[in-house]
Every structure is written in C-alpha cells, then in structure tokens.
A and B are shown apart, each in its own frame.
Chain A
Amino acid sequence: MSETTFSPVDTSVDWAVRKHRSLWGDAWRRLTSLNTARAGMVIISVLLVGALLAPVVHHYDPKTDSSLRDRLKPPSGEHILGTDNLGRDVLVRLIHGARYSLLVGIISVGIGLLIGGILGLLAGFVGRGLDNLIMRIMDIILAFPAMLLAIAIVAVRGPGLNNTMVAVGVVFVPIFARLARSMVLSIREQDYITAATCVGVSRFRILFRHILPNTLSPIIVQSTLGLGSAILWAAGLGFLGLGQQPPKPEWGAMLSDSYKFLAKGAWWVIVPPGAAIMLAVLGFNLLGDGLRDALDPRMQT
C-alpha cells in the first residue's frame, strides 16, 4: 500500500492518509451486503414512509370517518383493502396506524435504554452493594411476565397511548440493565482498560471513553430487536383495549374492533392489521439479526 507514496503520483494528494473507512462505515457495508438485513430495511422504510408521510399527504380524522352505507365492503378498486364495520377504508387506517406503532416502539425502547442502560452501567462499574441493589430490583421486575406487568401498569395508570409507552418501557428496563451490566463486566477486565488505568486515565473517563463505546454494538442490536417486540406488545395492549383508544387507527385496536366480523366472512378487516403487525416485527427482527452480524465485536478485517 505504501508504494503509492512514490511519485510520479499527484503530489498535492497525501496518499499515505487517504481514505480510512470509519468503523461505522465498515459496519454499514457489511449490513447492506446481507440479504435479510436488506429485506428488514425495506420493510422498515415502508413503515417509516407511511408513518411520516401519511399525515402530510392526507389529513385523516378518525372521528368523522365513517360511512355506514359502505360497511364491510370487500376489497375493490375503490377500497383496495375493503372497509370495516363503520365503512372506513382499511388501507387508509392501516397507513395512518403505522405512526402509533413506531412511536410506541421508539419511545418505549428509548425509556428502557436510557434508564436500564444507566442503571446497568452503574451496577457493572461501581459493583458491590449498588450492583446488588440495582440487579435485585431488576430481578423483581423480570419475575413478572412482561405482558402481565405491562397490563398491570396500564391498569393502574389508565389506558392510552402514553401509558402504553411507559408500560412497555418499564418492561425493557431490566433487559437493557442486564445487557449493559454484563457488557461492562466483561469489558472492564480487558487489558486495554488496565492499560488505560496505567496511563493514568481517571475512572470516569475510562467509563465514558473506553467502556461505553465498546458496549454500543450489542445495545444497538438489542434496541432494534426491542422495537419489534415493543410493537407487538403495544398491539397486544391495544387489542385488549388498554392501548391507543378507538377510533384512532392503532393496529391492535383495529384487530379487536373487527375480529367479530370474521364470522361474517369479512377476512379483509382482520388480515391487513395482523399482517402489518407481523411484517413490522419481522422487519425489525431481520434488521436486528443483520446488525448482530454486521457489528460483530470480533470485527473481521
């Protein structure tokens, strides 16, 4: 490589320091070379476009949207995915519903990541009594089945989208706390942490400059996978009537509004929201798996 430093090459260019791909650039290249990750990214992009553009392109007011003459119409040119029991276009509602799912996913994973991440870092780094205190509390939270815990929190705080996000976020806290703690525990035994201590780096700096950046990869993977499960849990709460309230077009709520009409043969009211949930979860799982490979800590050269 270094022979490129010889003339008669253009001497105005410093060939020795040309292009070093950043670590993230490398990871991105590996990610985009994986077919499954690409599929995941396509699905998530569609979701994102739906969530971001739908309110801009088309104003949707669920309160006034009903046309009783068009009840339970099967898919046709006019209503591509048919209409539901109040004569509302299923496709329109589906697209507008993407916003709620993504919102719940991002906010609740954010809550879990922030609180759980900080608690886990502290537990792993400070250790001893604090570690025990934090992790035993996390164990208690983990002892409850996730869905039951979320239901309990929503039951106490009342149904609604905000409380759904809090409830799902709380479920994530111990997951991220454990992950962050285990990462800190394994990284702080590495030679480069000891070497940093020897160089005279303070404990605080070691945590933020040396340990934290090395915990990121698995946390990013876990967050992506978490988005998928958050969407699933939010839809579950919505289905139980504890999440976003009708008539807002949340996917879980759409399912619970219309599953009774399946008996009348109206499959189109139930399949699209179900498929949307399934695809959203699949998309995030595919991307998460891809990220796991792309961000492999062993980092193939």
Chain B
Amino acid sequence: MSDNLVEVRGLKKWFPVQKGFIERLVTRERQFVHAVDGIDFQIRHGEVFGLAGESGSGKTTTGRLILRLVEPTEGSIVFDGVNLASLGDEEMRRLRQRMQVIFQDPFASLNPRMKIGDAIGHSLEIFKVATGEEKRQRVLDMMERVGLTPARFFYDKYPHQVSGGQRQRIVLARALMLHPDLVVADEPIAMADVSVRALLLDLMLQLKEEFNLTYLFITHDLATAKYICDRIAIMYLGLICEMGTLEQVYRHPQHPYTQALLAAVPVPDPHARRVKRLPKGEIPNPINPPPGCRFHPRCPHATAICSVEGPSLTEVEPGHLVACHTRFPA
C-alpha cells in the first residue's frame, strides 16, 4: 500500500459560462471559468494537508472535486488506490463513508428541521450501522468527545437553539460518526468567533490522533494553516504555485506570490516593521487567465519569459515544489 491516501493527477475543472439567448446568437465561442486548471498533489496518510489561496483560487473547487461533489473536466483522483471516476453512483455512495466534509458555514450546514442528535446519527441509520438505543448511545459518546456536554442536553435540541461554535462541533461529530479516513475541512473556522477558533483547531488535532484522520484543510488564512498543517500547497488562479512542508514554505518561500501572502500575515508585535511587498492589482479574471505564468501581471520580479511560458512545478529541494521561472529566495 502506498503511503498516499489521495493522489490527484492533472485535475482540471472548467465551469461553462452561462450566456443569455442573444449572446449565444452573436457569438459561437463557449467560455469557461478555469476554476482548477491542472493540478497534481498527494495527501499522505495521517497528515494535515493545507490548501491555501485567495478567494477564487480554486481551493474550494478542489475540495469538492475530491469529494466528487462536482465531476472533474480532466484528470483523476485516486482515493486509497481507487480511481473515483471509475465508481458508479452506488459504489461512490458507499465510499463516502470514508471521506467526510466540514463546511465553512455551520449555520447553513445543518438541516434546521432535524434534531442535533438525529443529524449526527443520520449516517448510522443510512448505512444501517446502528439504530434505536444503540445509535443514541453512540451519538451521545461522540457528542461528549467533541465537547458537546452534557450530551443529553443537546441531543434533542434544534440547530437554531445552539451557538455557532457548538454547531461546528456538531458538524465535526457528524463527520466523524462513521470513522472516515479523510476529512475535507473547507474553512472550518472562518465563521467561528476568534475566541473559539483555537479551541476548534485543537479539537480537530486531538480528534485526528484519536481517530487516525487525514485532513485536507482549506483556508485563506496562512496563520491558521501554520497552526494545523503539516504540508501546504499555495494556489493561485486554479494552479498550485508552491507546495512543501510547513517549514519549507513558511521559512523559505520561493514563489513571489507566497512571499507576498506571508508578508500580509499580521505580526503580533506593534513595533515590527515589515517590507510591504503586496502584489499590485486584483486577482485576474479566471475566464481569460493571463498567458504564461498566471501571476506575471502582478509579479514584482516578472521577466520576458513569464508572459510567454507558464512555469511548471519543479522540485527545488526534496518535497518543496515551486512553479516560478525567476525564484527569488527570500
């Protein structure tokens, strides 16, 4: 068995742009949003793999592709040796026991008409693992483990009767109920109060040890990623621009975009002065991404070749991959 739980190869997702009737008459050309435009990475068993980038960089789409909530345009996803594209609907449904998701918005991700206990135990019923009293007991155990105590007090409540932090614990409990291998956490703490963020992250790490989990942790916040991730990939406009261990990416960022992102992370020291190297301009339109390197219009180090040829991810040191022609070690 390989030590990769997930292998992503050449993954692409282009969303067709919906056009009005008149527009379709005028132009034949079909346009696509290049949400994810050919990425490769591996997630190893038992690690926390971070996927970071601005909004619109394709990180959420990548997460959804791995969960097969959207079908890829091109490329393959291999989950524990199984190519997801080869699975039929029913096989995929069974495999879902092993991969779970936590969404950003704990308010939208719980059915307002389902009691908390029923929501957490839903999967037990679906896969006929446990019913009745046994289900109740297992749900109560899980609720205690994620810190919803006293569990009996929460079991019969409805989602609108509890707080946001508690909701995210409910979502966590629901995801872990069937003991999955992979949990895709899509900005799981972005909507939580700052005061409970660290608590939730610690809880996630603790549960990871307890249940032998692997996380795909999607975030736009590099400070959060630093706290929880083992390895991290930085995405920009549907492509990975730098990937490596936390140490490699944070200590020795090689891609100008990574450097800019790291420079933007607030430093908890009022006297610290930093060199502002924020990229100029906005993230370009993913319908017509710039030719060559996607980052070149905003890159402070761009050279002639950058606007012509897109750089490929190359290994600069073992495990540290960068997609840049110039590479200015910081």
Contact = CB atoms under 8 A, between A and B. Distances in A.
B173 to A, nearest CB: 12
Contact of B150 (A5, A198, A301): A5
Main secondary structure of the interface of A (DSSP, over half): helix
Given A196-B122, A198-B96, A20 B113 contact: no
Contacts of B123: 199-200
B122 A17 contact: no
B160 A301 contact: yes
Contact of B152 (A16, A196, A214): A16
A214 B126 contact: no
Interface string B140-156: 00000000001011011
Given A199-B100, A199-B126, A192 B155 contact: no
A213 to B, nearest CB: 4
Nearest to B155: A17
A105 B289 CA distance: 59
A195 B171 contact: yes
A214 B112 contact: yes
A198 B111 contact: no
B158 interface: yes
B55 to A, nearest CB: 17
A199 B122 contact: yes
Interface residues of A, number: 27
Nearest to A14: B152
A23 interface: yes
B152 A191 contact: no
Given A2-B153, A14-B152, A200-B123, A192 B111 contact: yes
Contacts of B100: 198-199
Nearest to A17: B152
Given A199-B96, A210-B111, A301-B161, A191 B122 contact: no
Contacts of B222: none
B158 A23 contact: yes
A195 B109 contact: yes
A299 B108 CA distance: 13
A191 B105 contact: yes
Given A198-B69, A201-B122, A213-B113, A20 B157 contact: yes
Interface string A98-136: 000000000000000000000000000000000000000
Nearest to A4: B153
A202 interface: yes
A251 to B, nearest CB: 39
Interface string B73-116: 00000000000000000000110110111010100111111100
B249 interface: no
Give the size range of B's interface with the partner: 20 to 34
A14 B150 CA distance: 12
A239 to B, nearest CB: 42
Contacts of A1: 153
Given A195-B171, A199-B96, A200-B126, A190 B69 contact: no
B117 to A, nearest CB: 10
Contacts of B127: 200
A213 B174 CA distance: 20
Given A2-B153, A192-B110, A213-B113, A200 B97 contact: yes
Nearest to B177: A199
A197 interface: yes
A14 B171 CA distance: 26
B306 interface: no
29 contacts: A2-B150, A2-B153, A5-B150, A16-B150, A16-B152, A17-B152, A17-B153, A17-B156, A191-B103, A192-B111, A194-B103, A195-B101, A195-B110, A195-B174, A197-B96, A198-B67, A198-B96, A199-B100, A199-B123, A199-B126, A199-B178, A200-B93, A200-B96, A200-B126, A201-B122, A202-B93, A205-B126, A213-B111, A214-B113
Q: Which 7 A-B pairs have the closest CB atoms?
A: A191-B109, A191-B108, A200-B96, A16-B153, A213-B113, A199-B123, A192-B111
Interface of B: 67, 69, 93-94, 96-97, 99-101, 103, 105, 108-114, 122-123, 126-127, 150, 152-153, 155-158, 160-161, 171, 174, 178
